[in-house]
């Protein structure tokens, strides 16, 4: 319950209200006076420069010690660069914060100050996962026929050949393949080995496969595997706490972690703090590419984890059961991240009733790794305990120890200890070990270092009860395309000299030459829709090989390289002869329609890139990078055509046939293009006739008509214009 105010209360309330109104009056009056003073001050036009970058010309008023700048000169995030505000003649002005220490040069009419991050806001972004491109892949029913043929002439004049055909069908999570491999020689009859398999992808991280005469996952040896196989992976992502990017100017930040695109964000001026960034792989770097008015720059922060460890909670398991050749067989393997510093590895196999297995635990941090385990029925020593240690003793020294101890025969223990040291750029190592099955006690020493940016020298020596061996190797790498190595060795079998050189004229070609044991051998390899290998030696050896695939999908046939991974990708760019890279590895060049078929591993994001530096001048690209999520289908189609724009080079001439130097072409669509000193310009490629006006350097103009195929156009006083075909 509330009581009503009495007369005294009502009188007091009126006085309080009147006092408040009287208190506001001087403030409003002062504001009006301030605006009048500022608007009465002389107005200048000044070029505003922040961190040395021009923002254009804006109005400036100086009143006393204060600088009042047109508010539009400040950009997003820079609100605290200004203080009080007034409006003069319809223009808003703000008083620059004295902390900026802005300098006005009246003679040059420039106003300059430096960005102050302490006055700018902080933007916080939590990055959950990699942001794949919205133009993601779509399922694509696909048929493929892979082929390969090899022919060899041995030094003994024996001829051998091997051929393979395999048909594949993929649609959604299902795929199937049927193939046959044949081998024969001049001394051996023809042998055929058929094979077949069907696979179903349960999700991005798990699949099951049934096969006949296929490759086993775990077991080696002769004979194909027939039975069931399965794999499953569970990934727990490591994350970083904070990664801060300073933005003195408004800009766009592109984040990449371990080579995987995380996303793009646009901010006003300030600081962007990214949290919970996923870290890909055991080592890499977080890279931020900042694009703003100053151009493009990068900042990065490297990260690394022990390569032997899985993230806590991550696992990878696989198993198979069936027959290996003619023998019953089953095998399984598991890796599991117990904690951030502890990983368990286990493996077991049963072949023809004989069991074998191994169990190991790895503990590691940034400087030390220790693995202890137990192997049962190892091929040469039965059941044995194993231990391996690798650690960094200092910034320049490291120690490695490994041993295998048979539990039933300790005298057969073998092991080695090695100490490595960096002597100012020269890596050295000294080791001593014992192996009763090889040479008993032995010692070794090695060293390597760079003599220059292109030359590297290394040497090694080994001393054992069986003799001595010394080697010296000289490496030469003048460029990324060319490498050469020469080595000399002396041992119980006598001295020997070897040499090899490799040259990569293009990403899809490789030429090599090698010498050893008195034989000179040269080889050539070309990758593409058809891979060709050829080699010949001075001893009479000749090798020839060809392989590739024909793919039917999307209502047409594509020539493709042979599949090297499980998932087929049809990429459409619309640009012919475009080099495509996936995770940095060259995949091939697009065909005449701008398409390329290649294969990628399942369970991994598809990191597509194009080499912008290699693009011809008439091709422009919006983004050189495209990240797609791990495909769930066995074959997918990726439409990337909107990312590329193709122009054509057109040479314009005056009515007399002279080059239209520094002219400009205005098309009927309203677009205008400047020409260079030779009258040449880049125009958008179109399938229709375009009309426009050519404005010459002297101010005159004439009509032009540009047909789709013309690369030389002569303007005419006649409105229709004329175009000349290419020579």
Question: pLDDT for 394-409, tens place per residue?
Answer: 989 999 999 999 988 8
Residues in contact with 3: Cβ distance below 8 Å, sequence separation at least 6, in sequence order: none
Question: pLDDT for 351-367, tens place per residue?
Answer: 888 888 999 999 999 89
What does the pLDDT average to over 375-385?
76
Phi and psi dihedrals of 119, rounded to 5?
A: -95, -5
What local confidence, expressed as pLDDT, does residue 724 receive? 41
Beta pairing, strands 625-628 & 606-610: antiparallel
Supply the DSSP string of 135-202, one letter for each residue: S--EE--EEEEEEEEEEEE-TTS-EEEEEEEEEEEEETTEEEEEEEEEEEETTEEEEEEEEEEEEEEE
Query: pLDDT band at 89, cuts 50/70/90?
Result: confident
For residues 587 and 596, the answer to whether their CB atoms sit within 8 Å is yes
Q: From CA 178, how far away is CA 634, in angstroms rounded?
A: 16
What local confidence, expressed as pLDDT, does residue 726 receive? 37
What does the pLDDT average to over 157-184?
94
Query: pLDDT band at 381, cuts 50/70/90?
Result: low
What does the pLDDT average to over 551-577?
89
What local confidence, expressed as pLDDT, does residue 687 receive? 76
Residues in contact with 140: Cβ distance below 8 Å, sequence separation at least 6, in sequence order: 553, 554, 568, 570, 633, 635, 636, 637
Residue 91's nearest CA partner among 51, 24, 41, 26 is: 41
Query: pLDDT band at 129, cuts 50/70/90?
Result: low
Residue 620's nearest CA partner among 679, 575, 568, 677 is: 575
Number of Cβ within a 10 Å radius of residue 21: 9
Q: Which DSSP symbol is given to 633?
A: S
Residue 293's nearest CA partner among 613, 57, 49 is: 49
User: What H or E segment, with its residue span, contains residue 44?
Assistant: strand 43-50
For residues 287 and 256, the answer to whether their CB atoms sit within 8 Å is yes
Res 704 pLDDT > 50: yes
Res 601 pLDDT > 90: no
Res 63 pLDDT > 70: yes
Question: pLDDT for 522-532, tens place per residue?
Answer: 999 998 889 99
Which tokens belong to 633? 């289908």
Query: pLDDT band at 548, cuts 50/70/90?
Result: very high
Residues in contact with 316: Cβ distance below 8 Å, sequence separation at least 6, in sequence order: 231, 232, 233, 234, 310, 334, 335
- Residues facing 650 on adjacent strands: 681
Query: pLDDT band at 626, cuts 50/70/90?
Result: confident
Query: pLDDT band at 21, cuts 50/70/90?
Result: very low
For residues 167 and 144, the answer to whether their CB atoms sit within 8 Å is yes
- Its pTM surpasses 0.75: no
CA 350 to chain centroid, in Å, comes to 41
What local confidence, expressed as pLDDT, does residue 16 receive? 36
What local confidence, expressed as pLDDT, does residue 176 receive? 95
Q: What is the 3-state secondary structure (H, E, C) of 413-436?
A: CEEEEEEEEEECCEEEEEEEEEEC
What local confidence, expressed as pLDDT, does residue 7 receive? 36
What local confidence, expressed as pLDDT, does residue 645 receive? 85
Cα three-residue angle 136-263-608, rounded to 5 degrees: 50
Q: What is the 3-state secondary structure (H, E, C) of 81-137?
A: HEEEEEEECCEEEEEECHHHCCEEECCCCEEEECCCHHHCCEEEEECCCCCCCCCCC
What local confidence, expressed as pLDDT, does residue 131 receive? 52
Query: pLDDT band at 11, cuts 50/70/90?
Result: very low
What local confidence, expressed as pLDDT, does residue 137 receive? 62
Mean pLDDT (the chain, rounded): 87
Instruction: End-to-end CA distance of the chain: give it in Å, rounded.
Output: 101
Percent over 90 (pLDDT), the chain? 55
Domains of the chain with bracketed CATH: 35-119 (3.10.20), 239-304 (2.60.40.3110), 646-714 (2.60.40.1120)
Res 562 pLDDT > 90: no
Question: pLDDT for 500-513, tens place per residue?
Answer: 999 999 988 999 99
CA distances from 126 to 216, 287, 719 (A): 43, 16, 60
What does the pLDDT average to over 287-301?
89
Q: From CA 266, how far away is CA 77, in angstroms rounded?
A: 12
What local confidence, expressed as pLDDT, does residue 380 receive? 57
What does the pLDDT average to over 151-169?
94
Q: From CA 214, how far away is CA 226, in angstroms rounded?
A: 6
User: What H or E segment, with its residue span, contains residue 23?
Assistant: helix 7-40
Res 209 pLDDT > 60: yes
For residues 144 and 547, the answer to whether their CB atoms sit within 8 Å is no
CA distances from 594 to 76, 418, 526, 571 (A): 41, 54, 20, 8
């Amino acid at each position: 319950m509330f009581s009503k105010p009495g007369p005294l209360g009502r009188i007091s309330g009126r006085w309080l209200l009147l006092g408040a109104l009287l208190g506001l009056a001087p403030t409003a009056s002062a504001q009006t006076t301030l605006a009048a003073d500022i608007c009465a001050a002389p107005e200048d036009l000044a070029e505003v420069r922040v961190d040395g970058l021009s923002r254009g010309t804006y109005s400036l008023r100086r009143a006393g010690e204060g600088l009042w700048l047109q508010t539009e000169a400040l950009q997003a995030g820079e609100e605290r660069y200004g203080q009080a505000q007034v409006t003069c003649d319809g223009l808003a002005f703000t008083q620059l914060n004295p902390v900026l220490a802005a300098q006005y040069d009246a003679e040059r009419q420039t106003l300059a100050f430096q960005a102050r991050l302490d006055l700018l806001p902080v933007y916080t972004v939590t990055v959950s996962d990699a942001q794949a491109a919205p133009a993601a892949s779509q399922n694509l029913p696909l048929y493929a026929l892979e082929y390969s043929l090899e022919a060899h002439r041995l030094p003994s004049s024996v001829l051998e050949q091997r051929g393979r055909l395999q048909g594949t069908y993929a649609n959604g999570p299902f795929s199937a393949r049927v193939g046959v491999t044949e081998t024969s020689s001049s001394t051996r009859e023809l042998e055929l080995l058929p094979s077949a398999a069907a696979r179903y992808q349960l999700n991005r991280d798990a699949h099951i496969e049934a096969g006949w005469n296929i490759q086993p996952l775990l077991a080696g040896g002769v004979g194909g595997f027939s039975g069931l196989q399965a794999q499953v992976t569970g990934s727990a992502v490591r994350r970083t706490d904070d990664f801060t990017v300073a933005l003195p100017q408004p800009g766009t930040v592109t984040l990449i972690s371990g080579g995987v695109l995380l996303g793009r964000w646009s901010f006003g001026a300030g600081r962007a703090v990214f949290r919970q960034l996923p870290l890909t792989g055991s080592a890499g770097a977080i890279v931020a590419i900042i694009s703003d008015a100053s151009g493009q720059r990068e900042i990065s922060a490297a990260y690394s984890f022990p390569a032997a460890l899985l993230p806590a909670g991550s696992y990878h398991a696989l198993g198979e059961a069936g027959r290996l050749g003619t023998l019953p067989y089953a095998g399984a393997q598991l890796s599991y991240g117990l904690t951030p510093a502890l990983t368990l590895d286990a493996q077991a196999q049963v072949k023809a009733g004989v069991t074998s297995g191994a169990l190991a635990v790895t503990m590691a941090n940034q400087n030390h790794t220790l693995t202890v385990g137990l192997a049962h029925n190892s091929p040469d020593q039965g059941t044995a305990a194993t231990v391996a240690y690798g650690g960094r003793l200092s910034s320049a020294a490291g120690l490695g120890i490994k041993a295998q101890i048979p539990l039933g025969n300790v005298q057969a223990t073998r092991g080695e200890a090695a100490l490595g040291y960096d002597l100012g750029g020269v890596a050295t190592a000294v080791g001593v070990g014992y192996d009763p099955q090889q040479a008993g006690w032995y010692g070794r020493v090695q060293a390597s270092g760079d003599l220059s940016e292109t030359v590297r020298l290394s040497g090694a020596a080994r001393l054992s009860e069986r003799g001595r061996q010394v080697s010296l190797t000289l490496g030469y790498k003048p460029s990324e395309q060319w490498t050469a190595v020469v080595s000399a060795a002396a041992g119980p079998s006598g001295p020997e000299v070897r040499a090899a050189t490799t040259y990569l004229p293009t990403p899809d070609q490789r030429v090599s030459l090698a010498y050893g044991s008195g034989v000179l051998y040269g080889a050539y390899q070309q990758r593409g829709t058809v891979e060709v290998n050829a080699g010949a030696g001075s001893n009479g050896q000749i090798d020839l090989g060809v392989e590739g695939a024909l793919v039917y999908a999307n209502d047409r046939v594509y020539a493709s390289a042979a599949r090297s991974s499980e998932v087929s990708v049809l990429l459409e760019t619309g640009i012919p002869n475009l080099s495509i890279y996936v995770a940095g590895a060259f995949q091939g060049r697009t065909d005449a329609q701008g398409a390329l078929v290649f294969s990628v591993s399942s369970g991994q994001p598809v990191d597509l890139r194009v080499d912008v530096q290699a693009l011809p001048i008439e091709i422009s690209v919006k983004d050189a990078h495209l990240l797609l999520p791990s495909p769930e289908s066995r074959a997918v189609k990726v439409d990337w055509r909107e990312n590329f724009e193709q122009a054509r080079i057109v040479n314009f001439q005056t009515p007399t046939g002279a080059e239209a130097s520094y002219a400009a072409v205005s098309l009927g669509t309203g677009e205008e293009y400047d020409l260079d000193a030779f009258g040449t310009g880049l125009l958008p490629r179109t399938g229709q006739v375009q009309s426009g006006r050519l404005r010459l350097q002297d101010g005159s103009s004439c009509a032009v008509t540009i047909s789709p195929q013309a690369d030389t156009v002569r303007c005419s006083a006649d409105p229709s214009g004329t175009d000349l075909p290419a020579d």
